[in-house]
């Protein structure tokens, strides 16, 4: 089944403890993105990748890092999480410019 | 930068037709997308417009006017399962496949 898989689905962590949210797609898509979704603010793009080793900042990149060493994987790294990074995170991938992104199921992160 | 506006909430009756509007301002337009998102779930792709006019997909249609910076999503024969948020997203020229989303419109369908 064609899908985008994120892990974990839920995570509660403490301020300052490094964490990684994994994202993997099995559709050989070139484009991958990370979004966060907060009430009243909608979906905001964190980072974006056009292909292996090609990444770019979105609208809210501060406090996040990404890497794209393989086409299928696009992990999101929080080196030192803070409470303002508590949010619902979505990974998404797309292959062609006239098709929409396929989203993962989301990761609900709470930083205390 | 880009600015995308949608109504926050709408209510409609089962079996009726509803139109959800989206206006946008962008330095260079390269496509508009509509997504549906049920509460607690991931967004799912509904439609894509890059040229002016109407795109129809079953009960859902999407319209675009580039000169007016305006799009709408039309939902016909509303069903209870259509209760969800509808997200408008714009892609700018030179932005690869990066999308900027509006805040979304929460649609409540009542019996």
Element (H, E) at B25: strand B18-25
Nearest CA of chain B to the CA of A49: how many Å?
Answer: 9
Distance CA A81, CA B18 (A): 42
Residue A76 · residue A91 · CB < 8 Å: yes
Q: Among B13-22, B55-64, B86-95, where is mean pLDDT lowest?
A: B86-95
**A48, A90, A98: residue with CB nearest B42:** A90
Which residues of A lie closer than 8 Å to B, measured between beta carbons?
A: 31, 33, 35, 40-45, 48, 50, 56, 58-59, 90, 94, 97-106
So what's the pLDDT on residue A97? 64
Residue B74: name the closest of B25, B10, B8, B3 by CA: B10
So what's the pLDDT on residue A100? 80
Q: What percent of chain B has pLDDT over 90?
A: 82
Distance CA B76, CA B17 (A): 4
Distance CA B105, CA B73 (A): 11
Distance CA B108, CA A98 (A): 29
Q: In the predicted model, is pLDDT for residue B99 greater than 90?
A: no
The answer to whether A48 contacts B101, with C-beta atoms less than 8 Å apart, is no
Q: How many CB pairs under 8 A join A and B?
A: 61
Q: In the predicted model, is pLDDT for residue B97 greater than 80?
A: no
The answer to whether A106 contacts B42, with C-beta atoms less than 8 Å apart, is yes
Q: CA-CA distances (angstroms) from residue B56 to A101, B7, B65, B107?
A: 19, 22, 15, 20
- The per-residue pLDDT for range A21-64, each reduced to its tens digit, is 999 999 999 999 999 999 888 899 999 998 999 999 998 999 99
A54 → chain B, closest CA residue: B96
User: What does the block give as tokens for B5?
Assistant: 């506006």
Q: Among A1-10, A52-61, B8-17, B94-103, where is mean pLDDT lowest?
A: B94-103
């Amino acid at each position: 089944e064609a899908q985008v898989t994120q892990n974990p689905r839920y995570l509660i962590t403490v301020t300052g403890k490094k964490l990684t949210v994994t994202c993997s797609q099995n559709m050989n898509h070139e484009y991958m993105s990370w979004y966060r979704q907060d009430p009243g603010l909608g979906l905001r793009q964190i980072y974006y990748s056009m292909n292996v080793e090609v990444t770019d900042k979105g609208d809210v990149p501060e406090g996040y890092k990404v890497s794209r060493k393989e086409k299928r994987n696009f992990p999101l790294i929080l080196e030192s999480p803070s409470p303002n990074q508590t949010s619902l995170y979505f990974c998404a991938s797309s292959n062609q410019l006239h098709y929409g992104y396929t989203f993962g199921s989301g990761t609900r992160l709470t930083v205390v | 930068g880009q600015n995308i506006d949608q109504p926050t909430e709408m209510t409609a009756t089962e079996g009726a037709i509803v139109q959800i509007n989206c206006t946008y301002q962008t330095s260079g337009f390269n496509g508009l997308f509509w997504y549906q998102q049920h509460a607690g779930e991931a967004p799912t792709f509904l439609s894509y417009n890059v040229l002016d006019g109407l795109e129809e997909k079953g009960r859902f249609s999407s319209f675009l006017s580039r000169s007016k910076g305006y799009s709408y999503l039309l939902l016909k024969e509303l069903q209870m399962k259509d209760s969800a948020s509808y997200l408008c997203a714009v892609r700018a020229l030179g932005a690869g496949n990066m999308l900027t989303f509006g805040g979304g419109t929460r649609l409540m369908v009542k019996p």
